[in-house]
Amino acid sequence: MNMKRQLLFLSLCFALAAGSSWASIVGSTSPGNVVDSVDWCQFGCTGAQLATPQPWTSAGGQTGLVGLFDTGQGFYNLQQGTSWFGNFASGMGLVYNGGAVSFGNTPTDISVTFDEAQYGVGAYIQADFYGPFAATIMLYDASYQLLGSFSANGTSDGNPGTALFIGASDPINPVWAAQFDVVDQFGNDDFAIGTVLMSTPEPESLLLMGSALLGLTAFIRRRRSLKSEVK
């Protein structure tokens, strides 16, 4: 009987571990417990086209790269209120994946890589064309293998300060890169992202994890003491 219990416990552990590595990322439309941020006005916010990728530095001194998944498209540094009139907070720096010839469709995703592992990553995001759109964030590990993705719906219009935030975190695996994608109602996929935010676990999440660990410790101790009693 005891043996069966142990087997059941181990199976549960394996199932949980397997489950977590399969789909461990948690999506969110709120920034969470923000610890650092990347402001794209570090590139000047002049509306100029940029080479892709571009090295960035965060407010906290972290570094990484931002650019287009495919190097063949235009990549621009814009600013809400001067070269972009949409949903971002007034003055926010943006990177935009518009085509090199005209600001139309055919662009590819925007990727952001990090030189340090992250827990959670997200960004304000908006489709170029006004109307409804679906945004997706994909997280990657150190080998650039996909950890998981999360999608959310937003609306593109001219009301500053109402941009969709899309973010995701991985409680198990360190995140080394994030990729953003948008598809609007017409199938266009040109879009901009605003400030990128990096987050750590929420205090509640930490509390939950701590409780779980305490519980596990108590369970193991109990089993050990039962064993020694039987002996």
Partner 1 sequence: MKSKYLRNLFLVAVALLMVCQLGWAQSAAIPPDKTLAAKAVAAVQATGIPVPVVPFASIAAASKPAARPGVWLSRSLGANPTLHTGEPSFCDFNNGSQVALCPLGLQTAYSVKQIVGGNGGAGIVIAIVDAYAYSSAEANLAQFNSDMGLPACTTANGCFTSVVMTGASDGTGSGWDLESMLDLEYAHAMAPNAKLIYVQAKDSSYEGLGAAVAVAAASADIVSNSWIGEEITAYDSYWNVGKVLLFSSGDDASWPTKYYNVGYPCSALTVTCVGGTALHVNAKLQRTSETGWSGAGGGCSLAETTPAWQGRNGSGVCSPYRAAPDIAAIADPNTPVAVYINNPEWSPGYYGVGGTSVATPVSAGLVANIDTARVSFGKAKFTFLNQSLYNAAASNYNYFFYDVTSGNNGFAAGYQFDLVTGLGVSNGPAMANRFFGLIP
Contacting residue, 9, 14, 144, 219, with partner 1 by CB under 8 A: 144
- Indicate which single residue of 2, 71, 153, 185 sits in contact with partner 1 (rule: CB under 8 A): 71
140 contributes a contact to partner 1 by CB under 8 A? yes
The answer to whether residues 176 and 113 touch, using CB atoms and an 8 Å cutoff, is yes
The site for partner 1, by CB under 8 A, has a size of 18
67 contacts partner 1 (rule: CB under 8 A): yes
120 counts as binding partner 1 under rule CB under 8 A: no
The nearest distance, CB 144 to partner 1, in angstroms, is 4
Closest approach, Cβ 228 to partner 1, in A, equals 46
Nearer to partner 1, 92 or 110 (CB): 110
Shortest Å, Cβ 72 to partner 1: 7
Interface with partner 1 includes 72 (CB under 8 A)?
yes
Please pick, from the candidates 69, 155, 171, 202, the single residue that binds partner 1 as defined by CB under 8 A.
Answer: 69
Residues that bind partner 1 (CB under 8 A): 51-53, 65, 67-72, 111, 113, 140, 142-144, 177, 179
